Amino acid sequence: MAGLVVLTVGTGGYLYMRYNGNIKSAPLFAGESGDAGHEVPDAFGRTPINVLVIGSDSRDNPEDCAIGGDCGPGANADVQLLMHISADRSNATVMSIPRDLMTDLPVCKDENNNKSKGGRGQINSTLAYGPGCTVAAVHKLTDIPIDHFVKVDFVGVIKMSDAVGGVPVCVSDNVYDPYSHLKLSQGKHTLKGMAALQFVRTRHGFGDGGDLGRASAQHAFLGSMIRQLKSAGTLTDPSKVLSLADAATKALTVDPGLDGITKLAGLADDLNKVPPSRVTFTTMQTGADPRDDNRLVAGPDAAKLFATIKNDQSLSGDQNGANSAPSLPPPADPASQPPSPPANGTPRRNIAVVVKNGSGAEGRATALVDVLKGAGFSRETTTGKSTPAEHTTVRYPAGKEGDAQQVAAALGLPAGAVEAGSGSSIELLIGADWKEGTSFPAGGPAAPADPAAALKGAEATTADKDDTCVQVSHENTVSLPRYGGMTPIKAFDRSPEIPVSAP
């Protein structure tokens, strides 16, 4: 979106200056100690991008306050989405972190030097100390490096949904949530303005009436917006592009790494390379908080999902694109840059690898055989006789250097790990420098060999899915005066005087 604005108005134009001036910024990290983490380049020198998207419930300006609720200073994070764009830009993952999650929070300092207590608390409360504190909390929870944040306010959701011409959604039943004021009849609707905000904020109307149901609705909304942007002519209509850019930039607070149109354009270009079918929406696994039934804690499988994202593994089901060779040639200095596979390289399914364990750690060869098979390499990949080694290498016979480079890229091995060998097979020799983990260099929790295992206990969908409806709650999650508790479906029937949010 930002890139189109640059192309439309030019870098020296009045509108460019206006949109640049709209954007507000704040520090990326507000933790008292440490930082937001650092990305590890793949074998081709490329790094993933992780962006924390924060939806603020702040009502400290007249426009947001007019929407309703408690007006004044202070803010909580209604929405926390960690967006991961892979190093090769072939796939993306958007993981929701429920606002009701209880976790170990960092000590933060805001821009006025106010200091948070830290310790166990609800993760959405960190926004009171600035988005940099929410970044610190999410990094502490997941151990995933966070490169940027984007904070969006209430009015921004309204204006952006209008700018794209409305966002199509579907609900499984009639629904009325008197808390968010969303009222929709069963079936499909196009949401604009306030209806869009009501939809993404509704929590009592969907699923079990909690934050997980709201996350599913937000995933459906965002997937639909992506399809709308790509297919409805929005990005080919200059007036719509300018309207969308004006709405978006007014709604955003970003870190200094994104505080300009050209910087946002780079992020937009990276995300635009990913097809909707390879944008996966999911929610981190959670369980009930034993101290409070109304709160959540991280589930036992959440660490697998975090590690899969951190290790840059795709969750879209097609692993052949992940860690593939870049489409552009590598820089000119081959001594200092990672190798590049040939343009017409061997398909992974035809590359068999013999894995030998020289690390001294038990089970390493079998574990990495599973990783390679899960990444699409030949089912004939197998283990070989162990040979002690200090450093991990990938050795190749004559004519197979490109295949060896693909093996190294899939495992995150550096350029120097690929070398000519004397055998007849491609051999992965695991050295003492890689005693654990499934992506080199070792460190952090190991991601599962099959990335689908990372989604155990978590719902997932992709942005190209347009044939499903958000599930309305069939539990007594809302209440009405004179009636008491009931389902959102019954609330719809008993509130004929309330107008629907969208036709």
Domain covering 345-446: architecture: 2-Layer Sandwich (3.30)
Task: State residue 465's pLDDT score.
Answer: 85
- Per residue, the 3-state secondary structure of 290-359, as one string, reads CCEEEEEEECCCHHHHHHHHHCCCCCCCCHHHCCCCCCCCCCCCCCCCCCCCCCCCCCHHHCCEEEEECC
Taking the C-alpha atoms of residue 28 and residue 121, their distance in angstroms, rounded to an integer, is: 21
pLDDT score of 338: 37
Q: Residue 436 CA to chain centroid, in angstroms?
A: 26
- C-beta of residue 4 within 8 angstroms of C-beta of residue 249: no
Q: Write down the pLDDT at residue 443.
A: 44
Fold agreement (2-313+456-493, 345-446): no
How many Cβ atoms sit within 10 Å of the Cβ of residue 79?
Answer: 24
Contacts of 474 (CB under 8 A, 6+ apart): 173, 487, 489
Contact 106, 32 (CB under 8 A): yes
Are 238 and 15 in contact by the 8 Å Cβ rule? The answer is no
pLDDT at 133: 96
**Chunked mean pLDDT (size 10), the chain, 503 residues:** 46 66 92 90 84 77 52 71 94 94 94 90 94 96 94 80 88 96 97 92 90 89 84 64 74 88 81 88 92 90 90 72 40 35 65 94 90 87 90 91 86 81 92 83 54 84 88 96 95 97 94
Is residue 156 within 8 Å of residue 472, measured between CB atoms? no
The predicted structure's pLDDT at residue 196: 92
Provide the pLDDT for residue 11.
40
Check residue 359 and give its pLDDT.
Answer: 92
Q: What is the pLDDT of residue 238?
A: 66
Closest CA to 124 of 210, 59, 70, 56: 56
Going from N- to C-terminal start, the domains of the chain cover 2-313+456-493, 345-446
3-state SS of 212-228 is: HHHHHHHHHHHHHHHHH
CA distance readout (Å), 446 to 295, 353, 430 = 28, 21, 16
- Predicted TM-score (pTM) of the model is 0.70
pLDDT for residue 18: 77
The number of beta carbons lying within 10 Å of the beta carbon of residue 148 is 21
Predicted pLDDT of residue 486: 97
CATH number of 2-313+456-493: 3.40.630.190
The pLDDT of residue 410: 81
Report the helix count and the strand count for the chain, using DSSP H and E: 13, 23
